[in-house]
Structure 1
Amino acid sequence: MQNSVVWFYQELAHRIGPERMQHYIDLVGYGNRDISGPDPFWLEGNLRISQAEQIEFLRRLYEEDLPFSQSTMQIVKDIILLEETPAYRLSGKTGWASSVDPDVGWFVGYVEKNSNVYYFATNIDDEGSEESLGKISREITEGILAELGILPTP
């Protein structure tokens, strides 16, 4: 998923509807499960999630242990695939909430390498950032994964 298109996600959330959205948020146990507040709730509302909760959600997605069809989970995994080489596969999604104080940037995902899966969830806060914190989170994460020998050194 190369681009984050908030208006599309907003439209999708509106089509799903708040009751159905709340049902699925509850069903998967996503974060604090609170979708109240401004729209889009995932950027400006009261929904909060920890890095550990993000990783658990990713693990359940990867292992296809969520209450969705196998084909739906595979579509999501295909969409979040960022890089595929003979040595590894990097999957993830960045996010940046600039309308909250402080700004919040995320990069969450996993790397498949040598029959292992390495999950990550990087979250950074910054006040008044001029650059996408999602992009910065990804750069930091990829640097750490390279230092650990999971990704190649850039």
Structure 2
Amino acid sequence: MINIISAIISIAICTGCSTQATMAVYSQPEGAYITEVGTGKSWGMAPVSVAYNAAALKQHVNSEGCYLVKGFKAQWVSGASSLLDPIKLCGSATGNYNISLAREASHPNLEKDLQFALQVQSINAQRRQAQAASDSAAAALWSAWSTSQQNNINCTSTPIGDSVYTNCK
């Protein structure tokens, strides 16, 4: 019960106090390497998550009220690439956004990128299965441990004369 109350208090304290916007960057097909335009900063293989400080975003508002951020370049294993720059985030400075960079089908070696995307999906499925197995094992271990921690006490009371004697084991 105390854990539930603590969780509710934590949620109540943190509600409304987000200081950042988050953007998920996807690629179609999956598995493109994502870099930031202008800085060349590497974000890794899509999908990636990018956080923006809300105060910094508010300094880059356009005439439409949207926040302008540096764009991204997606590069697939075939060499095909896609660019989106700048990116307009229209909404809250503490919102969640999603963008997807699509590979042009006319670029050669589409099959290579599709095959790589299948491999990425297979690896991700294996990771999810391994995590589920790990979670299940941890739950079983916790259950076994918590069951073994229960101390069962058996007591018997016996009246002898004007007294009652209780023996507990």
Flag the structure with larger Rg. Answer: 2
Higher relative contact order (CA 8 A, sep 6+): 2
Give your verdict on TM over 0.5.
Answer: no
Q: Which has the higher strand share?
A: 2
Q: Which has the higher helix share?
A: 1
